[in-house]
Amino acid sequence: MTEQSEWRFSDDRGQQSAAPRPPERVLAYVQAGATLWDLGVRPVGIFGSDHDGPDPDRAKAGTLPLHEVDYVGAGSGLDVGRLLSAGPDLVVAVSYGNGHVYGLAPETAKPLEERVPVVVIDVGQARTFAEIGDRFAELARSLGAAGRADADRDLDAARARLRVVATSADTPRVLALSPAGPDQAHVARPRMWPELGVLTELGVQVVEPAEGSGANWSTLDRSDTFALRPEVILTDIRAHAGSLDALRGSDARPTPVVPWNPEPLYGPRDHARFLGLVADALEAARAR
């Protein structure tokens, strides 16, 4: 083993993982796996959280080629044996500010770390979207991924376009929500979601629900949700979310809708694609 070939990476818990050479068989939480894929790292497998089912949630998987990547399961169906079934030499997980490995029970995460290096990236609210993206990019580079200047240029262009569209006259009101059936919705508090923070930074008027219970969401009935007068709706498209059509009902006005994954992907192409959809929706709303 030489100094040049040894691989080391300090994760967001302050724990350093090391290996004789850069790992090549990465198992990742689906959000992390999809992000690494966009950054040039192909995971051998992905796993989900307690919100996920026996099949991968395509809304959370981005452009991952799911027919080529092993989905080892989610939630209570996961144990160390199942996680190691794909033969990983590195596990990449996420946390929400407390160091806990999201999606894995502590009694699973601890023995897993005794068998294989585990890198945890903090995707919580204490960081900006860009800061989280930088950490994933740093990890991808350490695993041998090359930089993608064209993807970065596309992202810069998407940001610039959205800023121009958002800061023009008569900026439409944007509401981010997760439908919870035909009678209520969880309305996002934009300051608590890094990707919504990007929209606000670029001048998008993301509606803030009134203060109340719920740190990340304000749960409102149907009438109170639409009393916020959204002109563009970002709707949660994860598999466990409810139907926006059921929430809106048959008398809904034709408001532009953007598919939104509250567990965003931090690669430049995926992020640029989302910003482009928001810009399209703002233009459509303004044209009405």
Three-class SS of the chain: CCCCCCEEEECCCCCEEEECCCCCCEEEEHHHHHHHHHCCCCCCEEEECCCCCCCCCHHHHCCCCCCCCEEEEEHHHCCHHHHHHHCCCEEEEEECCCCCCCCCCHHHHHHHHCCCCEEEEECCCCCCHHHHHHHHHHHHHHCCCCCCHHHHHHHHHHHHHHHHHHCCCCCCEEEEEEECCCCEEEEECHHHCHHHHHHHHCCCEECCCCCCCCCCEEEEEHHHHHCCCCCEEEEECCCCCCCHHHHHCCCCCCCCEEEECCCCCCCHHHHHHHHHHHHHHHHHHHCC
40 and 114 co-located in one domain: yes
Domain that holds residue 214: 149-286
90 and 188 co-located in one domain: no
Residue 261 resides in a domain:
yes
The residues, ordered by sequence, that sit 6+ positions from 183 with a Cβ below 8 Å of its Cβ are 221, 222, 247
**What was the pLDDT predicted at 4?**
52
Residue 86 resides in a domain:
yes
17 and 137 co-located in one domain: yes
Q: What is the C-alpha separation between 35 and 79, in angstroms, rounded?
A: 24
243 and 218 co-located in one domain: yes
153 and 281 co-located in one domain: yes
Q: Are strands 184-188 and 217-221 parallel, antiparallel or unpaired?
A: antiparallel
Residue 2 resides in a domain:
no
Q: What is the C-alpha separation between 20 and 18, in angstroms, rounded?
A: 7
pTM: 0.93
125 and 92 co-located in one domain: yes
83 and 206 co-located in one domain: no
Residue 138 exposed, middle or buried by CB count within 10 Å (0-12, 13-18, 19+): middle
107 and 165 co-located in one domain: no
**What was the pLDDT predicted at 1?**
37
Give the closest residue to 87 by CA, choosing from 40, 33, 37, 27.
27
Q: Among 142, 164, 182, where does a domain finish? A: 142
Q: What is the C-alpha separation between 68 and 89, in angstroms, rounded?
A: 18
Q: What is the C-alpha separation between 184 and 203, in angstroms, rounded?
A: 28
**What was the pLDDT predicted at 92?**
98
Residue 258 resides in a domain:
yes
Residue-wise pLDDT tens for the chain (288 aa)?
345 579 999 999 999 999 999 999 999 999 999 999 999 999 999 999 998 988 999 999 999 999 999 999 998 889 999 999 999 999 999 999 888 899 999 999 999 999 999 999 999 988 999 999 999 999 999 999 987 878 999 999 999 999 999 998 788 999 999 999 999 999 999 999 999 999 999 999 999 999 888 889 999 999 999 999 999 999 999 999 999 999 998 766 789 999 999 999 999 999 999 999 999 999 999 987
Q: What is the C-alpha separation between 177 and 262, in angstroms, rounded?
A: 9
164 and 59 co-located in one domain: no
161 and 125 co-located in one domain: no
CATH of the domain at 14: 3.40.50.1980
Total domain count for the chain? 2
61 and 128 co-located in one domain: yes
Residue 155 resides in a domain:
yes
Q: Among 115, 142, 169, where does a domain finish? A: 142
Q: Among 107, 142, 177, where does a domain finish? A: 142
190 and 129 co-located in one domain: no
